[in-house]
Amino acid sequence: MTEHSVTFTLNGERREARVDPRIHLGDFLRHSLGLTGTHLGCEHGVCGACTVIVNGAPVRSCLMLAVQIDGTVVETVESLGKPGALSPLQQAFATNHGLQCGFCTSGMLMTLEAYLRTTPAPTEQDVRIAISGNICRCTGYEGIVQAALDTASAKASRT
């Protein structure tokens, strides 16, 4: 099938690529660009593990075609912290035991990263609804919810 060229901004860097239209964004990030921080679980829009941020909004990268990111701004978990210099949200996940096996974590992080930008002071119930589209089978969600609330209140006290 005909390949299409796409130009986009990925984690602050301008990128160009040629893509087969049937390749979804998640596979494109992992296989073509080697960014394996984005995880693919169900590949039909149920588990939320593959969540990335496109034009500021959290989206399921298994339900968006790579060809559709032409002209957009894409953020993946690699744009957050680095080992030894975690982002505040990542550090809060570590402190609160918000992860165990880690498979859902990048999707949880990107969902909450986008959510906390637009909702800086959520309630516990707000956070639970925000991550209702992300499945975690290890933690029971308590640590994840606490990490989000801690991140929000720490940011509020800094500003």
Partner 1 sequence: MKAPPFQYHRPQTREELGALLARLDNAKILAGGQSLMPMMNLRVIAPDHLIDINRVANLAGIREAVDGIEIGAMTRQADVLASDLVKSRLPLLTRALEHVGHIQTRARGTIGGSCCHLDPSAEQPAMCAALDAEFVVVGPGGRRVIPAGEWFEGLLQSALGEQEFLEVIRFKPWADGHGYGFAEYARRHGDFAIAGAAALLEAGRDGRITLAALLSFGVEAAPKRLSEAERTLIGQHVDSLNIKPVIAAASALDAMEDVHVTADYRRHLAGVLIRRALNEACTTMRRPS
According to the 3-state scheme, what is the secondary structure of 77-117? HHHCCECCECCHHHHHHHHCCCCCCCCCHHHHHHHHHHHHH
Residue 77 · residue 36 · CB < 8 Å: no
Q: Judged by CB under 8 A, does residue 27 bind partner 1?
A: yes
Q: Compute the distance between CA of residue 127 and CA of residue 84 in angstroms, rounded to an integer.
A: 27
* Least spacing, CB of residue 9 vs partner 1, in Å: 17
The span of 29-37, 84-92, 107-115, 141-149 binding partner 1 (CB under 8 A) equals 107-115
Residues in the chain: 159
Q: Give the residue with the Cβ less far from partner 1, 27 or 150.
A: 27
Q: Compute the distance between CA of residue 144 and CA of residue 150 in angstroms, rounded to an integer.
A: 10
List the one residue from 48, 98, 122, 143 that touches partner 1 (CB under 8 A).
Answer: 48
Number of residues this chain uses to bind partner 1 (CB under 8 A): 31
* Least spacing, CB of residue 10 vs partner 1, in Å: 18
Q: Give the residue with the Cβ less far from partner 1, 54 or 92.
A: 54
Tokens 């990335």 map to which residue? 52
User: Using CA of residue 57, residue 132, residue 27, residue 3, what is the dihedral sign?
Assistant: negative
Q: Judged by CB under 8 A, does residue 67 bind partner 1?
A: yes
Please report, as a single letter, which amino acid is at residue 24: H
Q: Judged by CB under 8 A, does residue 68 bind partner 1?
A: yes
Binding site for partner 1 (CB under 8 A): 1-2, 4, 20-22, 24, 27, 43-45, 48, 51, 57-60, 62-65, 67-68, 111, 114-115, 129-130, 132-134
